Amino acid sequence: MNRHQFELPLGSGIDRGMTIVQYGHYGRPVLAFPSEAGRAWDFENNGMLDAIGYLINDGRVKLYCVDSLDADTWADRGVPTEERAVRHEVYTRWLTHHVVPHIHADTSPAAELITLGCSLGAYHAVHFSMQRADLAPLAIGLSGNYDVGTWGSWGDRGDATYFANPTDYVPNLNGDHLDWLRGRLSILLVVGQGAWETHPTGALPSTLEMARLLQEKGIRCELDLWGYDVSHDWEWWQRQLAHHLPRFC
């Protein structure tokens, strides 16, 4: 399996390199986010590549795994939620200004991305596709919580939090933009009903609510609810990814 690792500057006045690890030689580009505060090699270290290795080796998928910035944004409970959301905008700009151009240069300028993530990474995948369905019209979220207000939230919440929180902005989508999303975007939400999916992660109730909100707006959303033995853990995310990703590549 071809593996290449790169450092891409974060930019926005922050002197920090961010890592992207890519796997494969050809195929549909998949932008993968790690779980909370994770690094670009977390998929490799937690068996996710083994689960879809044949898709990569057969040229059906080219996987691009990125660092998170969660330690400085959503996982930093020492700053108010609005400041975390402002910092998150830096991460979004890194994705759009550095990561996506890198992927397009490596594949095709017209390549349509799939976004993919586990746990907090599922939020990143779904939120990025909601914001940039022109770049990534398909998002796959595994065991995600899509309400930033439940992540140890405190302080006054303003525009930055609103526009970073799918649970806030999806109910207010309307008009031409909503019509465009209905024709462009597809979201797959997968979650188990076992250990840690309800407490403490909130993934199960949040996933059910996110699916309801999207379906009420007529945005294509498939909800795949796994059993009571299915926990919030890499073992199950491997199985879920192996089950679903071949459908799209």
Q: Given the structure tokens 């790169």, which residue do they identify?
A: 6
Instruction: List the end-to-end C-alpha distance of the chain, in Å, as a whole number.
Output: 17
Whether 240 shows a pLDDT value over 70: the answer reads yes
CATH of domain 3-248: 3.40.50.1820
Measured in residues, the chain has a length of: 249
- Which pLDDT score is estimated for 1? 85
CA distance 142 to 221: 13
Q: Given the structure tokens 């390199």, which residue do they identify?
A: 17
Whether 13 shows a pLDDT value over 70: the answer reads no
Q: pTM for the complete prediction?
A: 0.97
Partners of 20 in beta bridges? 6, 66
Task: Give tens-digit pLDDT for 129-183.
Answer: 999 999 999 999 999 999 999 999 999 999 999 999 999 999 999 999 999 999 9
Ordered by start, the domain boundaries in the chain are 3-248
Among candidate residues 191, 205, 177, 176, the one with its CA nearest the CA of residue 233: 191
Half-sphere exposure of 153 (CA within 13 A, CB side): 13
Whether 16 shows a pLDDT value over 90: the answer reads no
